[in-house]
């Protein structure tokens, strides 16, 4: 791991291995504001927010405005999923849509206006049962009366050794970060949900052809997104198709895919220069296992919208919001709404416990 001149942690990323790839992590780290890491332990904070996506930033706006001086811990994906998306057309208030990164920057400015501070840090361990709650981070130990968990969800990978070997060399999970490198080239996108449709449509700005590969016949994507992808002249949809291998490991550059038809078992090769994954996300809640109830897929099981539990009993002062606890809606507006709820609950908790 490397540190910036300001002492903030540089999280190792696959993209950092190759200077031409400036993925989401690199961009976010440069933009994040920093506080003096040396002061982290000197006080007991009223509230710490884990995550700086839509949910975390909304919680920061509300707790900031309530005078709680929230500290927002930014992990390896600052700004969350909105920071790597393109046009957001369904967030109320922008009749013509707004770019995801701009929406996030606006929320961050709004939170800072109300006294929120931001710190790049990796959470190594938590003690949720301690009073105050203890957070052991890469930047030191932090003590807080309330914790709002808004750590979101991270992109999934297929898990093929060849895919992992070529991340940063033609394999990516972030079309907005890396699409630019594929101008005039043929590429493939894997997935059958809205993310895959969005990535495929976005990538047509650069690529000469996008082949969308989906493992089943029917799609999870919303009708409007699927129809847009199907109608695009530069997108070809191939269903019942799985990727068996990404070709180009020896050359350290993607040159194609070995595909298998799941109906007839036929194997073929597809010549492409880039592979983008749009196969969903996993919740970032592993560090809470054993201290908080998680469901079978690792999402935080919340009760009363944003209260967390351990063995069914509410964990005092610890709230969860956004995608880390929402497997059903997973929208920017619902994440923001739950961030607001978590902030109001934290405020109420602090009042009731006479801090």
Q: Could you give the 3-state DSSP secondary structure of residue 257?
A: strand
Does position 258 interact with ligand NAP (CB under 6 A)? The reply is no
Contacts of 90 (CB under 8 A, 6+ apart): 331, 332, 333
CB-based contact 317:329 (threshold 8 Å):
no
x-or-dash string of contact with ligand NAP, 222-251, rule CB under 6 A: x-----------------------------
Considering only 140, 193, 256, 298, the residue that binds ligand NAP (CB under 6 A) is: 193
Quote the radius of gyration of the chain (alpha carbons, Å): 21
d(CA 159, CA 176): 22
Does position 77 interact with ligand NAP (CB under 6 A)? The reply is no
* 198/347 with CB nearer ligand NAP: 198
Nearest Cα residue to 168 out of 67, 253, 60, 66: 253
- Tell me if residue 321 is catalytic: no
Choose the catalytic residue: 46, 54, 177, 323: 177
* 219/288 with CB nearer ligand NAP: 219
- State the burial class of residue 248 (Cβ atoms within 10 Å of its Cβ: 0-12, 13-18, 19+): buried
* 132/179 with CB nearer ligand NAP: 179
Does position 173 interact with ligand NAP (CB under 6 A)? The reply is no
Instruction: Show contacts with ligand NAP in window 35-64 (CB under 6 A).
Output: none
* 2/223 with CB nearer ligand NAP: 223
* Residue whose Cβ sits closest to ligand NAP: 193
* 208/222 with CB nearer ligand NAP: 222
Choose the catalytic residue: 174, 321, 323, 340: 174
d(CA 190, CA 110): 36
d(CA 355, CA 346): 12
For residue 270, the minimal CB distance to ligand NAP (Å) is 15
Does position 333 interact with ligand NAP (CB under 6 A)? The reply is no
CB-based contact 309:290 (threshold 8 Å):
no
Considering only 194, 293, 326, 345, the residue that binds ligand NAP (CB under 6 A) is: 194
Q: Phi, psi at residue 125, to the nearest 5°?
A: -160, 150
Backbone CA torsion sign across 206, 207, 212, 213: negative
Does position 280 interact with ligand NAP (CB under 6 A)? The reply is yes
Nearest Cα residue to 79 out of 138, 120, 139, 20: 120
- Tell me if residue 177 is catalytic: yes
Other C-beta atoms lying within 10 Å of the C-beta of residue 125: 11
* 144/195 with CB nearer ligand NAP: 195
- Tell me if residue 268 is catalytic: no
Residue ranges in contact with ligand NAP by CB under 6 A:
156, 158, 190-196, 198, 215-216, 220, 222, 279-281, 330
Which positions are annotated as active-site residues? 174, 177-178
């Amino acid at each position: 791991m490397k540190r910036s001149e300001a002492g903030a942690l540089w999280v190792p990323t696959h993209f950092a291995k190759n200077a031409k790839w400036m993925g989401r992590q690199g961009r976010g780290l440069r933009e994040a504001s920093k506080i003096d890491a040396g002061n982290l332990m000197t006080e007991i904070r009223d509230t710490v927010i884990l995550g700086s996506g839509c949910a975390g930033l909304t919680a920061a706006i509300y707790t900031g405005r309530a005078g709680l001086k929230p500290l927002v811990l930014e992990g390896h994906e600052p700004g969350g999923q909105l920071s790597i998306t393109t046009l957001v057309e369904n967030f109320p208030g922008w009749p013509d849509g707004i770019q995801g990164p701009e929406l996030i920057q606006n929320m961050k400015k709004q939170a800072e206006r109300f006294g929120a501070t931001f710190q790049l840090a990796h959470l190594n361990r938590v003690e949720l049962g301690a009073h105050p709650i203890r957070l052991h981070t890469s930047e030191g130990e932090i003590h807080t009366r309330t914790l709002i968990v808004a750590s979101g969800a991270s992109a999934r990978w297929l898990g093929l050794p060849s895919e992992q070997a070529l991340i940063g060399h033609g394999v990516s999970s972030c079309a907005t970060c890396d699409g630019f490198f594929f101008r005039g080239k043929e590429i493939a996108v894997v997935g059958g949900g809205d993310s895959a449709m969005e990535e495929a449509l976005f990538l047509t700005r650069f690529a000469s052809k996008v082949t969308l590969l989906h493992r089943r016949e029917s799609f999870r994507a919303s009708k409007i997104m699927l129809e847009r992808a199907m109608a695009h002249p530069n997108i070809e949809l191939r269903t019942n198709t799985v990727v068996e291998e990404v070709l180009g490991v020896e050359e350290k550059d993607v040159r194609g895919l070995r595909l298998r038809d799941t109906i007839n078992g036929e194997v073929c090769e597809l010549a492409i220069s880039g592979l983008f994954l749009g196969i969903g996300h996993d919740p970032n809640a592993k560090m809470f296992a054993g201290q908080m109830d998680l469901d079978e897929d690792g999402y935080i099981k919340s009760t009363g919208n944003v209260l967390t539990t351990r063995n069914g009993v509410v964990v005092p002062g610890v709230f969860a919001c956004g995608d880390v606890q929402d497997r059903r809606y997973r929208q920017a507006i619902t994440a923001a709404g739950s961030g607001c709820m978590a902030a109001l609950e934290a405020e109420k908790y602090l009042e009731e416990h006479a801090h």
